[in-house]
Amino acid sequence: MSDRSHSDIIIVAARSHDFSWPRDEPVSNGLHTYATSDLTVVELQTDVGLVGYGIGRPRPGERELRRDMLDRVVGRDPLMSEAIWADLWSPKLRGRRGLETRALSSIDLALWDIRAKLAGLPLYRLLGGFRKTVPFYMAGGYYSPGKDLGRLQAEFAHYVELGATAVKMKVGAIPIEQDLDRIRAVREAIGPSVRLMLDANCAYRYYEAIELSRRAEAFDPFWFEEPVQPDDYDGMRRIAAATAVPLAAGENEYTKFGFRDLIDTGAVAVINPDARYMGGVTEFMKVAALAQAAGLDLCPHGEQQAHVQLVAAVPNAIYLEYYPESVKAMASRAYLNPPTMNPDGTVNVPEAPGVGLDPDWDALEPHRLAP
């Protein structure tokens, strides 16, 4: 590395790499079916030899917005991440919350990766550090062809065998009576001491969510995630007032402004920001502080590799969402330093300098998409 001062560092090249691969079988949540998985790796090269990596998705619109933004960061100082964020988030030119914020997030993650590598620290320690192991919950319970109650129970029993002390299942794609049978079956499989979360992925109207939540209370859910559409703040208030199950939401929320409004509803006990979507590390830490000031817990949505460092840095983060390979192929194999599970329901936070998104190019290369 050059011995020049840090103030002289600039980004000399910025590119993205897009990948997609088929799932072993399609899976469905309350509203959507997925036959493939995908990943975009953002690569920022600096003139001192450090390379920063971020991740996003190769979705139409997001790819094009990201390419435009990548052109704009070449020649910039990567340590001026607030200035770069402010320049790239331009509602007048690109929009306020959505694919443009997702594209920005992938770049912001790469900027913080450079910062942490320059300091020689894993991100969680650079941000202050709160814990060196983090609790996780295992996410699964998707609908898939031929998955009867026996297969569902075997799935969750396996998660508990892996060490999970909390698990999450999908609801909302079938009639409430049938979903109640599924919830009952999972509770029987995991026993009374493992926490059980329910996730509807916005599938219900508020009155349907109230019915499901009230009837599911007998199975002691720890939270009910995204019962209604993300902008239905009034629906969330009605659900929270009508049932004893705490609500969680936020995976479809963007920026500190969106989370300010979500928190202000008073309806949500746990917020679920996704650093890949809502604004990267820069916004995630501000949202975590907003939630902490409001007395709310935080549990990031999705992609354990993107969030393990952040959960370790934030005092009010209670769980890391963890996808097993059976649910999201290459969830760990795509990266060089994945978190490792412990039998007590925690994972070890990787200690390599950076955000932890350095890709395993050999694993990813067979799945590369055309530019």
Note down the domain range covering 25.
6-121
State phi, psi for 120 to the nearest 5 degrees: 75, 30
Q: Out of 301, 307, 328, 367, which one is annotated catalytic?
A: 301
Considering the domain architecture, whether residues 12 and 58 belong to the same structural domain is answered as yes
Going by the DSSP 8-state scheme, the letter that residue 176 receives in this structure is H
The verdict on residue 322 lying in a domain is yes
Query: Which phi-psi region, left, alpha or beta, contains residue 266 (left: φ > 0; alpha: ψ -120 to 50)?
Result: left
Considering the domain architecture, whether residues 140 and 87 belong to the same structural domain is answered as no
Considering the domain architecture, whether residues 332 and 257 belong to the same structural domain is answered as yes
Catalytic status, residue 301: yes
If you search the block for the tokens 């001491």, which residue do you land on? 193
- Quote the tokens at residue 136: 């996780």
Looking at 82, 101, 121, the residue that finishes a domain is: 121
Catalytic status, residue 367: no
State phi, psi for 83 to the nearest 5 degrees: -65, -40
Considering the domain architecture, whether residues 190 and 294 belong to the same structural domain is answered as yes
CATH number at residue 154: 3.20.20.120
Residue-level pLDDT, tens digit, the chain, 371 residues: 444 555 689 999 999 999 999 988 899 999 999 999 999 999 999 999 999 999 999 999 999 999 999 999 999 999 999 999 999 998 888 888 899 999 999 999 999 999 999 999 999 999 999 999 999 999 999 999 999 999 999 999 999 999 999 999 999 999 999 999 999 999 999 999 999 999 999 999 999 999 999 999 999 999 999 999 999 999 999 999 999 999 999 999 999 999 999 999 999 999 999 999 999 999 999 999 999 999 999 999 998 999 999 999 999 999 999 998 878 878 889 999 999 899 999 999 999 999 999 999 999 999 999 98
| Separation of CA 146 from chain center | 28
C-alpha Rg value of the chain to the nearest Å: 20
Going by the DSSP 8-state scheme, the letter that residue 142 receives in this structure is -
Considering the domain architecture, whether residues 114 and 130 belong to the same structural domain is answered as no
Q: Count up the domains in the chain and report the number.
A: 2
What pTM does this model have? 0.95
- Quote the tokens at residue 278: 């809502």
Q: Out of 168, 170, 307, 367, which one is annotated catalytic?
A: 170
Q: Reduced to 3 states, what is the DSSP secondary structure of residue 32?
A: coil
Contact 253, 228 (CB under 8 A): no
Considering the domain architecture, whether residues 191 and 226 belong to the same structural domain is answered as yes
Contact 306, 334 (CB under 8 A): no
| Separation of CA 77 from chain center | 27
Q: How far apart are CA 346 and CA 368, in angstroms?
A: 32
Q: How far apart are CA 282 and CA 278, in angstroms?
A: 10
